[in-house]
Structure 1
Amino acid sequence: MNRRYLAGGLAAALAGAAAYPIWQWVQIRRAPARQNALLIGGASAMYELNVALGKEFEKQYGVQVIVEGGGSLQGLLAAKRRAIDIAAMARDLQSTEADPQTHNHLIARDAIAIVVNTQCPVKQLRQQVVRDVLTGKIDNWKTLGGPDSPIEVVTRPRESSTSRYVSEVVLAGDDLSLKAQVRKSRDELLAFIRQTPNAIGCVATDDGGLPSDIVSLEIDNIPMLRETVLSGRYPYARSLYLLTFGLARPQALDFIALAESPAGQAIVDRAGFVPVR
């Protein structure tokens, strides 16, 4: 589901495909009442963060902010076509996407935790082993030094930002096991992990910290800590950016400055991400 936030109290949910059509952003821009609004679109993982920043921005500057999801790629394309002011990017730019006119501003980091039940004796895995487990190539804990019991993989729906990140980064494009259990929400996934000693799943840290009764595995002997996520040492850490293209509107630069300021970084922290300043 694509979501829209209009600072000032208006909000709506738009059903549809994960990729938000650029022409709809253009239509939003053309609406007379919104021509001076600041339009932000892109990574769904950054939606709530941008909404929170938008509320603070409107409070300080009196400028309406409209926030959309739709995905990093759609946001990038929309920014390049001047349909929006700022693209929210939950990944680094690929070499084919780099352009002298694109300006990336790092505002936060987050990570994917590989989580298991507290009864699981396995405490760390290599990246390749994680991939083999999630794809079903390794399907018994005995192979990993654990008990002789099947590994039960649990995942979020395919359209969730967490699942997309797992597919792109953790699985490196491989397919998730067809036997994987699907849970609609983070809470449902964590409940499954709690109730199933032989379960394993993936959780985004931007949803808030992990409960004490859930174990996050070390990856390549590196624990998922605030310090390792910030430094990028933790393998499944990612960077979150605000991107402008060409000569940005002053309002867009002011919004980015707010996100980078102590007040903005405090909002980043409250949203469950790792501040970078």
Structure 2
Amino acid sequence: MKTKMFALLALTGAMTAATATASETISVSGSTSVTEVMEVLAETYQKSNKNTFIEVQGTGSSAGVKAAKNGTSMLGMASRSLKDSEKEPALNETTIARDGIAIVVNGKNPVANLTKDQIAAIYRGEISNWSQVGGESKPVVVVTRDTASGTRGAFEDIMKLKRKVNGMSVSAISQRAQVANGNGVMKTIVANNPFAIGFISLGSVDASVKALSVDGVAPSVDTVKAGEYQVARPFLVLHKDANTSDEARKFLDWVVSAEGQQVVAENGYIAVN
């Protein structure tokens, strides 16, 4: 009896080991904005690829670029174009979607439209009261993202929120601005403060906040596609061939396929194919 039991345990262990060997983990890390759609893509892919597990972590765009370069993740995510200093011949860039950056306020705020110049002035601290842009006579509570955020990097580039200090390009966003770590935190701050303003991925906009028109154009998939809403950026996935498994490449190919791009579109982002 004991002999049969040991044999059964040994067989079970062998089967478990074989299953563990057959399954593969694909590590993906980087932009918290890209993370939201990447998690849905991963979940959808895993349903028809049972032996593949895709681990997605939102660590910020700068961290995603580094992870792809040094191989700590097979795939890195960035929600902005790469800086010249980040580019390498061996680093492959794949655009998996485009996304608008929505300028959001509390739902009780009567302001519905701002110009790009007004938004930039708010973030530089030059406009500090809502009455200066047609709102109530209340102080503007400026909320930004951390410096590693790809959304912030793209926002600064689009709004020309950079300045030169000792020959170096640095952020022109007011140091008095509150800093939010991720789209979710940004939304929570704005949703709970009637005088706050922030910026989040268009695909993250929900009923908790109000997205403003910019220069008279409302943010939407259609206006971004048409080039009318110009506060937009790419969603990139980065990898080095030397650090990427065949299964990871297969997953990335699926993401840019018609099936993967349908998932992108269904989640409020702009498909690239």
Is the shorter-chain TM-score for this pair beyond 0.5, marking a shared fold? Answer: yes
Match runs of 1:115-194 below 5 Å: 115-116=104-105, 122-146=111-135, 149-155=137-143, 158=146, 164-165=152-153, 168-169=156-157, 170=159, 171-172=161-162, 173-176=171-174, 178=176, 185=185, 188-192=188-192
Identity of aligned residues (%): 26
Match runs of 1:187-206 below 5 Å: 188-192=188-192, 196=194, 200-206=197-203
Contact 1:106 1:276 in 2 (8 A): yes
Match runs of 1:66-81 below 5 Å: 66-81=55-70
For residue 272 of structure 1, give the secondary structure of its aligned residue in structure 2.
coil
Matched, 1:86 2:84: no
Matched, 1:245 2:240: yes
In the alignment, what sits opposite 2:272? 276
Q: Aligned partner of 1:264: which letter?
A: G
List gaps (5 residues or longer) in structure 2.
1-19, 163-170
Residues 185, 140 of structure 1: alpha-carbon distance in 2 compared, 3 angstrom cutoff: same
Residues 269, 121 of structure 1: alpha-carbon distance in 2 compared, 3 angstrom cutoff: same
Tell me how far 1:190 sits from its aligned partner.
Answer: 4.8
Out of 252-261 and 151-160, give the one that drifted further: 151-160
Q: Comparing both chains, which one has the higher relative contact order based on Cα–Cα distances under 8 Å and sequence gaps of 6 or more?
A: 2
**C-alpha deviations, 1:156-182, integer Å up to 9, x for none?**
674895874576444442233627697
In the alignment, what sits opposite 1:19? none
**C-alpha deviations, 1:81-130, integer Å up to 9, x for none?**
23322111111111222222222111112222223467766543332221
CA distance in structure 2 between the partners assigned to 1:270 and 1:161 by the alignment: 25
CA distance in structure 1 between the partners assigned to 2:141 and 2:41 by the alignment: 35
CA distance in structure 1 between the partners assigned to 2:60 and 2:196 by the alignment: 29
Out of 256-265 and 180-189, give the one that drifted further: 180-189
Q: Aligned partner of 1:75: which letter?
A: G
**Higher helix proportion (structure 1 or 2):** 2
**C-alpha deviations, 1:214-258, integer Å up to 9, x for none?**
653332343312123235542321110112223543212211121
In the alignment, what sits opposite 1:15? none
For residue 85 of structure 2, give the secondary structure of its aligned residue in structure 1.
coil
For residue 37 of structure 1, give the secondary structure of its aligned residue in structure 2.
strand
For residue 103 of structure 1, give the secondary structure of its aligned residue in structure 2.
strand
CA distance in structure 1 between the partners assigned to 2:188 and 2:43 by the alignment: 30
CA distance in structure 2 between the partners assigned to 1:46 and 1:151 by the alignment: 32
In the alignment, what sits opposite 1:39? 27
CA RMSD of aligned residues (A): 3.5
**C-alpha deviations, 1:198-225, integer Å up to 9, x for none?**
6544343222x443x9653332343312
For residue 275 of structure 1, give the secondary structure of its aligned residue in structure 2.
coil
In the alignment, what sits opposite 2:217? 222
Q: Aligned partner of 1:133: which letter?
A: I
Tell me how far 1:35 sits from its aligned partner.
Answer: 9.6
For residue 229 of structure 2, give the secondary structure of its aligned residue in structure 1.
coil
Match runs of 1:9-88 below 5 Å: 36-61=24-49, 62-88=51-77
